[in-house]
Amino acid sequence: MSLTQDVIDAINDQIANEMFGAYAYLALSLWFDAQALEGFAHWLGSQSAEELQHAEKLIRFLRDHDAPVRYRSVSAPPQQFDSIEAALQTVIEIEERNTRQIHAIYHLALEQACHSAEVLMRWFIEQQAIEEKFARQTMARVKLAGDDRGALLVLDQQFGRGEGL
């Protein structure tokens, strides 16, 4: 069954949301690089690439259903942060907002019996759970490090090796 117009519109909106995420993570990556925390910068750069892949996945989905892809405007992301915690809080907020948006599309797909969109959104829902957990865990680890610069650098090195937490 073809997709409903509401679902097509919502997925087109989500493409822009994912592009915003990619943009925001690039800004965060640059900010961490300026703090000499290259490991964090590396992690956030990978996150940006992942968001771009999410946008591409949605574009392919619409294409494969012969639905039109409509690119929306993407606004400027936050670029200045008062502290590492403030920057990580932005990461958490980006992921939480993304989760709400994905859940709304899933709900719409269910309501309108767009089963292929429903299945696609299930994949995104699982991804969001992982992303949110990681963002919160990173914040918790940075808070644990507190004023201990050595502990922060160990964390940064872990990210630099792509190990994550």
Chain residue whose CB lies nearest Fe ion = 54
Quickly count helices (H) and strands (E) in the chain: 5, 0
Ordered DSSP codes for 3-18: PPHHHHHHHHHHHHHH
Which one, of 103, 119, 89, lies nearest residue 24 by Cα?
89
Please identify, among the stretches 17-25, 39-47, 63-71, 79-87, the one whose residues bind Fe ion according to the rule CB under 5 A: 17-25
Whose Cβ is closer to Fe ion: residue 124's or residue 155's?
A: 124
# residues contacting Fe ion (CB under 5 A): 3
Residue 114 C-beta-side C-alpha neighbours within 13 Å: 24
Check binding of 58 to Fe ion (CB under 5 A). no
Please identify, among the stretches 49-57, 67-75, 105-113, 145-153, the one whose residues bind Fe ion according to the rule CB under 5 A: 49-57
What's the chain's Rg over C-alpha atoms? 17
Ordered DSSP codes for 43-56: HHHHHHHHHHHHHH
Check binding of 54 to Fe ion (CB under 5 A). yes
> What's the closest the beta carbon of residue 131 comes to Fe ion, in angstroms?
7
Whose Cβ is closer to Fe ion: residue 101's or residue 116's?
A: 101
The binding site for Fe ion (CB under 5 A) comprises 18, 51, 54
